[in-house]
A and B are shown apart, each in its own frame.
Chain A
Amino acid sequence: MTTDLEQLSEALQKDTPEKLLERRIEEKKQEIINALQEGREFVLDRDRGIVIKRAS
């Protein structure tokens, strides 16, 4: 197997879970804002167990 390890290294650092989740937050921005304004929690992804709520 021949792999360009430099490219692989960059790809691994680029697509980390938190970066992907940040992109999802960006996509769901308006829904999150609406939920928070209404005082509700927002579950970013039920399966991934991330709950966003207003800071108390």
Chain B
Amino acid sequence: MIALVASALLGLYIFLPVFFFDKLAAPFVRLKSKERTKTEEVVAGIFIAGIPFAFTWWLSRVSWHVGRYPLFLSDEAASGTDYQVLFNGLYSEHYFEAYLSQFWDAFWRVLQHQGRFLVWNYTFLFVEICLVLIVTYNFGRLNQNPFFRKTVGQLLLRRVSEWHPLFTPFVFHPREKRRVEVDVMTTDMHLYRGTVKSHFINKDGLLTGLILKDAKRFQYSRLEADREVGAQKPLEEYWKPIPGSNLYIPYEKTVTLNLRYELPDPGMAKVLKDAVSRITGMDTSVTVQGAQLTAAIGHVKASGTVSSSEPPERPAD
């Protein structure tokens, strides 16, 4: 019986809070750089469940309301004696039969006491989840604050997969609504372009593949043929849309990744208009032609480091 009660308490105080945290704070949980070991899972679980528990325990002592609501108990109720009677009754059948009425009195008081504690424990757990989600969704905004950057920001970045800032607009202000555009050179010398929809990492934190939407393939042979006859066309014309909404590219087939963090086109046009007006001192209008506005900012090589380089030169058709 003791084992049964211990299991229930373990479930209510650790496993269930961790389950809720994993489900409700999934955007934060997904940031992790690699799969945790069993030991790390247990430690993380204790930490996740321990914060609201410790907060509830502390507030139960310093706050009259938390100590008595929502299930009101008189001051002498659910004392250590009640827990002792309960434990003895669960441990020994003889004790249970000899002190039946005391056992049930203690049982109901302990139940109310635990109920009150759990109500506050889960309340603070949901507060913890909300805070974690706010920080995750607003990292780019909050990280502009030097205090946040040196404290929470640093802690958060330590647990984040290095691929996450590269393939999502995680580090940018959410108001900017950037999208991640990528040019991918594959081992069969094809050059693809598209918007990164999602990326996948394995249990060791290594990238396994990318899903691109609105993907296009560069037709290099057409470009060469046109050059031979002296025809000059905008390079945009050589990007052939790939049918289907999603293109999966395995990382093992990837040679280089060229990433760009694009503003929405109207936002980009405004930024450039302001820049031109500021630099030239003339009132101008700026038009961004076509859906593809590209400006290579770097080259993410297979190692995952960022360096300046030109886009790939000789893709196949």
Question: Which residues of A are interface residues toward B (Cβ below 8 A)?
Answer: 1, 3, 5-6, 8-9, 11-13, 15-18, 20-22, 25-26, 29, 32-33, 36, 46-56
User: Whose C-beta in chain A lies nearest to the C-beta of B154?
Assistant: A6
Q: CA A8 – CA B306 in complex, angstroms?
A: 8
User: Whose C-beta in chain A lies nearest to the C-beta of B259?
Assistant: A12
User: CB within 8 A of A50: which of B272, B280, B298?
Assistant: B272
Q: CA A25 – CA B166 in complex, angstroms?
A: 26
Of the A-B pairs whose beta carbons lie under 8 Å apart in the complex, a sample of 16, sorted by A's number, is A1-B206, A1-B303, A12-B166, A16-B297, A17-B293, A18-B272, A18-B295, A22-B271, A25-B279, A32-B279, A48-B293, A49-B234, A50-B286, A50-B293, A51-B287, A52-B272
Q: CA A9 – CA B275 in complex, angstroms?
A: 24
Report the minimal beta-carbon distance from A6 to chain B, rounded to whole angstroms.
6
Report the minimal beta-carbon distance from A14 to chain B, rounded to whole angstroms.
9
B199 within 8 A of A: no
Using known A-B contacts A20-B295, A48-B295, determine if residue A32 contacts B280 with beta carbons closer than 8 Å.
Answer: yes
Using known A-B contacts A48-B295, A53-B284, determine if residue A5 contacts B276 with beta carbons closer than 8 Å.
Answer: no
B292 within 8 A of A: yes
* Closest A-B pairs by Cβ, 7 of them: A49-B289, A17-B295, A5-B157, A3-B162, A15-B297, A55-B283, A9-B171
Given pairs A12-B171, A54-B284, 4 additional interface contacts (CB within 8 A): A29-B280, A47-B235, A49-B288, A52-B285
Using known A-B contacts A9-B165, A25-B275, A32-B280, determine if residue A52 contacts B234 with beta carbons closer than 8 Å.
Answer: no
B101 within 8 A of A: no
Report the minimal beta-carbon distance from A44 to chain B, rounded to whole angstroms.
8
Q: CA A56 – CA B234 in complex, angstroms?
A: 27
- Whether A53 lies near B268 (C-beta < 8 A) is no
Chain A positions within 8 Å of B280 at CB level? 29, 32-33, 36
Chain A positions within 8 Å of B236 at CB level? 47, 49
User: CB within 8 A of B275: which of A3, A17, A22, A46?
Assistant: A22
Chain B positions within 8 Å of A47 at CB level? 234-236, 294
Chain A positions within 8 Å of B303 at CB level? 1
Report the minimal beta-carbon distance from B181 to chain A, rounded to whole angstroms.
9
- Whether A54 lies near B261 (C-beta < 8 A) is no
B305 within 8 A of A: yes
Chain B positions within 8 Å of A8 at CB level? 162, 165-166, 306
Q: How many residues from B make CB contacts under 8 Å with A?
A: 45
Report the minimal beta-carbon distance from A33 to chain B, rounded to whole angstroms.
5
Q: CA A24 – CA B22 in complex, angstroms?
A: 46
Chain B positions within 8 Å of A50 at CB level? 272, 286-289, 293
- Whether A56 lies near B285 (C-beta < 8 A) is yes
Of residues 20 through 48 on chain B, the ones whose CB sits less than 8 Å from some CB of chain A are none
User: CB within 8 A of A54: which of B285, B290, B304?
Assistant: B285
User: CB within 8 A of A49: which of B276, B290, B298?
Assistant: B290
- Whether B268 lies near A17 (C-beta < 8 A) is yes
Using known A-B contacts A12-B261, A18-B272, determine if residue A5 contacts B165 with beta carbons closer than 8 Å.
Answer: yes
B255-270 vs A, CB cutoff 8 Å, 1 = contact: the mask equals 0000011110000100
Q: CA A3 – CA B268 in complex, angstroms?
A: 30
User: Whose C-beta in chain B lies nearest to the C-beta of A32?
Assistant: B280
- Whether B287 lies near A3 (C-beta < 8 A) is no
Chain B positions within 8 Å of A36 at CB level? 280, 282, 284
Chain B positions within 8 Å of A12 at CB level? 165-166, 171-172, 261, 306
